[in-house]
Amino acid sequence: MTTSNQRPRARGIHHVTAIASDPRANFDFYSGLLGLRLVKRTVNFDDPGTYHLYYGDQEGRPGTILTFFPWPGARRGSRGTGQATVVSLSVPEGTLGSWRRRFAAHGVTSDDPVERFGEEVLPFADPDGLRLELVAHPGAAALDPWADGSVGEAEAVRGVHSVTLSVSRAEPSADLLTDDLGYRPAVEAGPRSRFRVGGEGAGAGAGAVIDLVEDPDTPQGRIAAGTVHHVAFRAIDDAEQAVWRERLREAGRQPTPVQDRRYFQSIYFREPGGVLYEIATDPPGFTRDESVAGLGAALRLPPWLEPHRERIEAVLPPLETSVGATGGEGEVAP
């Protein structure tokens, strides 16, 4: 019993984790402006005086999750190779004009939309300089949004579209995606290659795309505020994760032991271009400690931190949004 020659099915992105500075600005931007749902309000288990904020759809489904470690006063990182340099979110076709007006009304600058692989892309950045995009594509309409957020249902974000990885040499990173993670090459243009899992078009779920950009002249990025810390891929359960882990171990990728992240189980490894990858299980999910209706409403702590709740709550700033909670064009903050 040595080889696990059966490769588990690749299921796409589970979540993307980035570093932020001010948690209030982060919450205002992702919940207020982008209309994502705060699906878990907890702390950094290694630094419980700071938040770990999870945003997603109604139920916090894998493929819709962005997570942030906001460290007040954190220094800005730098974009470069060995990083996921852009996080792209899905929106329905025909909504980018309305999104641009919304950004302008809230003082957020966005670049002119560009076309990429037949999809319309609106680039912008979060308050820490993290590069984001809204990607308007036909498949988005088939995905459920969170309908009770600050953005109207017709325009609302439908989860993660893709991440763009920047590496100095594409081939080893591409080989890992295809040979070890089960992605297939979809299309390429210049230094950018697109990889996919699952069905095409309307059948494609959230988080199905990875773009790899070869950028030999750009130095390695520095991970700090405004940069992505890691990209997590889905495993359907612990057993599937164990098969992934064994395959990665055999491929010399040195995955970590399984770590309990409370809402999922995780292993981590570094891909050849330097980007930190994680494989996270779908269960138990964010309803482990609160109902769907109550997701994100209250601070949730793991049992070992409960005895310190009072002290932790005293140092965490309250989170509130200045963006109105109705329709697509909320009130402009003073």
Binding site for Zn ion (CB under 5 A): 17, 232, 278
Find the angle CA(20)-CA(29)-CA(165) to the nearest 5 degrees: 55
> Least distance to Zn ion from the beta carbon of 256, Å?
12
Q: How far is the CB of 121 from Zn ion (least distance, A)?
A: 25
Nearest to Zn ion of 46, 310 (CB atom): 46
Element (H, E) at 130: none
- Buried-state track 17-38, b at ≥16 Cβ within 10 A, e below 16: bbbbbbbbbbbbbbbbbbbbbb
Of 17 and 85, CB closest to Zn ion: 17
Tell the smallest beta-carbon distance from residue 43 to Zn ion (Å): 15
- Contact between 170 and 59 (Cβ < 8 Å): no
Q: Check if the beta carbon of residue 28 is closer than 8 Å to that of residue 78.
A: no
Nearest distance in Å: CB 170, Zn ion: 24
CB of 42 to Zn ion, least distance (A): 13
Task: Return d(Cα 160, Cα 334) in angstroms, integer.
Answer: 30
Question: What's the closest the beta carbon of residue 232 comes to Zn ion, in angstroms?
Answer: 4
Q: Tell me whether residue 90 or residue 265 sits nearer to Zn ion (CB atom).
A: 265
Of 232 and 323, which CB lies nearer to Zn ion in the complex structure? 232
On whether the CB atoms of residues 333 and 106 are closer than 8 A, the answer is yes
Instruction: Check: CB of residue 281 under 8 Å from CB of residue 47.
Output: no
Query: How far apart are CB 306 and Zn ion at their closest, in Å?
Result: 23
User: Quick one: which H or E segment has residue 61?
Assistant: none
User: Residue 95 or 241: which CB sits closer to Zn ion?
Assistant: 241
Question: For residues 180 and 278, which CB has a smaller minimum distance to Zn ion in the complex?
Answer: 278
Q: Which is nearer to Zn ion, 121 or 181 (CB)?
A: 181
Strands (E), the chain: 13-20, 37-44, 47-56, 65-70, 83-91, 114-116, 119-125, 131-136, 160-167, 184-189, 192-196, 209-214, 228-235, 259-260, 264-270, 276-284
CB nearer Zn ion, residue 14 or residue 131:
14
d(CA 275, CA 166): 9
Under a CB-based contact definition with an 8 Å cutoff, are residues 261 and 280 in contact?
A: yes
Residue 260 beta carbon to Zn ion: minimum distance, rounded to whole angstroms: 12
